[in-house]
Structure 1
Amino acid sequence: MTFPHIEDTSTDHAADIVAIRGVIADIEKGFNDNDAELLVEHFAAGATAVTATGAQVDGRQALLEVSRAGLAGPLRDERARYELADVRFVRPDVAVAHKHAWAVDGTGEPIDVGHAMSALYVLVREDARWWVVARQNTLVPQS
């Protein structure tokens, strides 16, 4: 059996990667500034996400409500540093991105909380910009 290799290699994606880095930077800033609107600004209306606690949240409005509650409550004093670790383009307008995250203090220095996080994003380019259509967060225990 032959398996397809699904990856777009026909396009120079340098500008797309810069744009996706911008999406991740806005999400980080939204988290760190307790700004739920910025945190979900790049999520499509029908986006779906799985939180670090395993809860599935469907729809941008529900993501906004969950973000508002989290940032006003248990995440209020939390800060993180995000790094775009990898981006794969399965089509010119569809990207799969991996983000790594670490807890940091107010100055950006890492905090040992016993875990970090990895997130998988699926993004779609529509109307000349990238939209998050799915996100899966996974806590990563430190050894």
Structure 2
Amino acid sequence: MSEGNTLVVGAISPETRSAVTAVVEDLERAFNAKDPIALSECFSERTSWTNAIGKRLDGRALIAEFSAPAMKGFLSGVYARYEVVKLLEIAPEVIAVNVAQTPTDAAGEATDGARGVTLYIIARRKDGWKIVAGQNTAVEPS
């Protein structure tokens, strides 16, 4: 994951930047490990997530339920690198995060294929920083 060229909009402290970026890093790690429980734990209990195939999943439990067979099936050989490209402070402790997803092989080397652009809304919750809403969009290579 890269944070070197991240555009930061608003008064986002270095601690908050680190915490929000860590959520995205945890999500990338869980996706690439094909671990639906670890992936779902990046989300708040009350969340709304629309994945790259347009399926809306409301709640952490539904994300885990959908992800388990998907990761064993059509996502089993799919890996990605996530790069935080923009952080936008919406309100105190509520950050919009734009992420660019690059397809990779299992070793993390970039490959050809659809890329993703994702918007996560990450907020501080009782159990830490979590994704409370998001949209993942697949983008075909040009």
Q: Give the alignment's TM-score, normalised by structure 2.
A: 0.88
Q: Which has the larger radius of gyration?
A: 1
Give the aligned residue type for 2:141. Answer: Q
For residues 128 and 33 of structure 2, what CA distance do their matches in structure 1 show?
23
Q: What whole-Å deviation, never above 9, does each CA across 1:42-70 have from its counterpart, x for those lacking one?
A: 21111111010111111110001011111
Unpaired runs of 5+ residues, structure 1, are 1-6
Aligned partner of 2:93 in structure 1 is 93
| 1:38 aligns to 2:38 (yes or no) | yes
Q: What whole-Å deviation, never above 9, does each CA across 1:28-87 have from its counterpart, x for those lacking one?
A: 110111111111112111111101011111111000101111111111121111111111
Please identify runs of 4+ aligned residues in structure 1 that moved more than 3 A.
none
Give the aligned residue type for 2:72. Answer: A
Q: CA RMSD for the aligned pairs?
A: 1.5
| 1:56 aligns to 2:56 (yes or no) | yes
Q: What whole-Å deviation, never above 9, does each CA across 1:72-114 have from its counterpart, x for those lacking one?
A: 111112111111111111111111001111110122111111x
Give the aligned residue type for 2:100. Answer: H
For residues 127 and 37 of structure 2, what CA distance do their matches in structure 1 show?
21
Q: Give the alignment's TM-score, normalised by structure 1.
A: 0.87
Unpaired runs of 5+ residues, structure 2, are 1-8
For residues 68 and 39 of structure 1, what CA distance do their matches in structure 2 show?
10
Q: How does 1:52-131 map to 2 (within 5 A)?
A: 52-113=52-113, 115-127=114-126, 129-131=128-130
